[in-house]
């Protein structure tokens, strides 16, 4: 109990100076995402029970067994960040199912935690910040001591229903920057690792205060931004159109 209280007090003290530090700092963080073996095993077990041609099943099994990691890059400068998928690890010959961590980009303004998901299909989507709960757990990621935080993310499936996913983040107060991969931001320290049922995202290279001209920030205007609810409605329309065209 004392350890948990000490960690929380440390994080609260960090928050007091976090915004100013974030405004003055810059950096480029490389992340690698990998698909979780447990997720693959469960998916393939369910696939065996499905009624579909064996050739299609074999093709799906091969894709999952040959899935390769995804690489992402997080750029931040003057309180803004831009996170995007780097296709350099992809094979040009075969389709790669990747890590299941997605390929959309994200823009974040840290002062008010304005998070915009950039989807080629749905448009620019405003994301609500997650409600993080800091636990008493800690571990080392790379050379940094990290503290665990957990949250529940509400997602919308292609089948037209909402479901929850538990998110586990490991952040380091040693780098008091409130950035992280995807839409995972807002903690009193840089997020170095994300764990979700389907995938894990881990920082592999940290470059703080690089040359300003090496930092890529794609700014998003306030125009043409839709809510998550509107995006879910568009997903439903797309799936309904596909059903009608069969």
How do residues 189-202 score in pLDDT, each as one tens digit? 999 999 999 999 99
How do residues 208-223 score in pLDDT, each as one tens digit? 989 888 999 998 877 8
Distances in Å between the Cα of 67 and the Cα atoms of 35, 63, 92, 179, 208 are 7, 6, 14, 27, 31
Both tokens of 209, joined, read 């205060």
What strand order describes the sheet that includes 144-156?
133-141, 144-156, 162-172, 190-195, 199-208, 26-35, 70-77, 80-86, 105-109, 114-119, 123-127, 225-226
Q: Is the pLDDT of residue 39 over 60?
A: yes
Among residues 118, 117, 107, 116, the alpha carbon closest in space to that of 80 is found at 107
Q: Note whether 169 and 150 are within 8 A (CB).
A: yes
Q: Is the pLDDT of residue 12 over 80?
A: no
Question: Rounded mean pLDDT of the chain?
Answer: 87
Q: Is the pLDDT of residue 20 over 50?
A: no
How do residues 130-188 score in pLDDT, each as one tens digit? 999 999 899 999 999 999 999 999 998 878 888 999 999 999 999 999 999 999 999 99
Beta partners for residue 73, in sequence order: 30, 84
How do residues 62-106 score in pLDDT, each as one tens digit? 888 888 999 999 999 989 999 999 986 555 556 678 899 999 999
HSE value, Cβ hemisphere, 13 Å, CA-based, for 83: 28
Per DSSP, the chain holds a count of helices (H) and strands (E) of 4, 12
pLDDT for 240: 84
Q: Looking up tokens 């091969």, which residue turns up?
A: 62
pLDDT for 179: 96
């Amino acid at each position: 109990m004392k350890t948990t209280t000490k960690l929380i007090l440390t994080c609260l003290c960090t928050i007091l100076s976090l915004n100013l530090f974030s405004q003055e700092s810059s950096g480029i963080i490389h992340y690698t995402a990998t698909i979780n073996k447990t997720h693959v095993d469960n998916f393939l077990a369910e696939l065996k029970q499905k009624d579909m041609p064996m050739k299609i099943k074999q093709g799906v099994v091969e894709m999952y067994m040959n899935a390769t990691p995804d690489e992402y890059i997080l750029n931040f400068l003057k309180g803004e960040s831009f996170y995007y998928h780097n296709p350099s690890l992809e094979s040009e010959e075969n389709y790669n199912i990747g890590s299941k961590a997605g390929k959309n980009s994200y823009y974040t303004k840290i002062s008010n935690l304005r998070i915009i998901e950039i989807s080629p299909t749905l448009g620019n989507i405003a994301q609500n910040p997650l409600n993080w709960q800091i636990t008493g757990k800690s571990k080392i990621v790379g050379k940094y001591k990290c503290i665990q935080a957990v949250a529940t993310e509400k997602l919308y499936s292609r089948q037209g229903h909402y479901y929850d996913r538990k998110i586990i983040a490991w952040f380091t107060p040693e780098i008091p920057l409130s950035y992280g991969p995807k839409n995972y931001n807002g903690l009193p320290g840089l997020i170095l690792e994300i764990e979700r049922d389907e995938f894990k995202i881990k920082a592999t290279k940290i470059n703080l205060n690089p040359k300003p001209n090496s930092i890529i920030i794609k700014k998003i205007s306030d125009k043409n931004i839709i809510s998550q609810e509107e995006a879910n409605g568009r997903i439903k329309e797309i799936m309904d159109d596909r059903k009608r065209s069969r």
